[in-house]
Amino acid sequence: MRLASYNVRYFGHGLKGLASTVRSKLRIAEALARLDPLPELVALQEVETRSLRADLVHRPKHADETQLDSFLELLSEAFHRRGLVMPYRAYYYPAHTYGVGSFRLYTTGLAILVNAQMLNVLGGNGEKPHDITWVASRRLKRVKQTRIAAHLHLEDQRQRRFHLFNTHLSLPSFWAREFWSQPQKMGHGANQLAEARAVAQFAEVTSKGEPYLLAGDFNTAPSTPVYEQLTRQEKLVGAQEVLKQIDLRQPDAFSTAGFMHLRMHLDHVFGRGVEFTELDDTRSFGDVQNRFSGLSDHVPIVAGFDV
């Protein structure tokens, strides 16, 4: 099977993240539909529901249409142009809302697309995603963006059961003294380490000994305390590490995200009880041969795996 993990920047990269556009959704839909073989699972980060940012430019067709609904319609059209039926069923996980009263300036959340032709969904936590947010004090709770772990329990055609967890960790807290005292930031924050422990513990308890994948935007580079916590302490296997796409002695050699001239490795796919088999469609940020180049400020990790 295959899993794609992708931070889509609210489908607003064309306007530098200020607002979602139909062009951004369409280009990402086309790129996903052209993956061959198709991923059975797609874990998306930074997906909205309804808000000013989500609806200002690409207006919804009806009152209940969400950002994910409009993207799925464009994805279906992308498959139709290839003479195929869109195989994915979508699951959304709301995280945070910025606004006053009923007014929503913007929202945050995660999504998982499941190839319903290949996998059965046995359960999940879409109605109440698991909160992994760490804050230094209760006073900051109201302003701190909620971070969550999304979960699906799955079964393949051979009746093998496994789990997928999707997450998006916080940036290192600039309130912390060590943020300003150390040169390396991403993956060194105490708040990030606490959230990494929380999501790993949630995955371990929820999976009940069955195999599982943990994917997402971890805002952390390889060879950092957060990465070491997940791999060495929690005993998860990193797809890029085990398939030797990255060398931990050179953590800056492969990038999955970029800002202006800055390049960072922030996205990862981990597993327990699974064997990673290939990363054929995983290319670094800025690689001219990457079909996802210029579609977001991240590029996806596409990993083959066997349960």
The pLDDT of residue 141 is above 70: no
The pLDDT of residue 202 is above 90: yes
Band of the pLDDT at 140, cuts 50, 70, 90? low
Residue 124 belongs to domain spanning: 2-306
pLDDT, residue 184, reads 74
pLDDT, residue 101, reads 84
**What is the C-alpha separation between 262 and 240, in angstroms, rounded?**
21
Please report which helix (H) or strand (E) contains residue 291, including its range. none
* Mean pLDDT in residue range 274-286: 97
* Mean pLDDT in residue range 147-151: 98
Model confidence over 75-90: pLDDT tens digits?
999 999 999 999 999 9
Q: How many CA atoms lie within 13 A of 287 on its CB side?
A: 17
Model confidence over 210-233: pLDDT tens digits?
999 999 999 999 999 999 999 999
A 10 A CB-CB count for 128 gives: 9
The mean pLDDT value of the chain amounts to 94
Model confidence over 31-61: pLDDT tens digits?
999 999 999 999 999 999 999 999 999 988 8
pLDDT, residue 105, reads 92
Provide the domain count of the chain.
1
pLDDT, residue 288, reads 87
Hey, what amino acid is at 46? E
The pLDDT of residue 244 is above 60: yes
The pLDDT of residue 116 is above 90: yes
Q: How is the chain split among helix, strand and coil, in percent rounded to 5?
A: 25, 30, 45
CA pseudo-torsion sign 38, 8, 289, 286: negative
pTM over 0.75: yes
The pLDDT of residue 297 is above 70: yes
Distances (CA, A) of 165 to 5, 95, 227, 282: 11, 15, 16, 20
User: In 156-211, which ranges are E strands?
Assistant: 161-168
CATH number at residue 114: 3.60.10.10
pLDDT, residue 260, reads 86
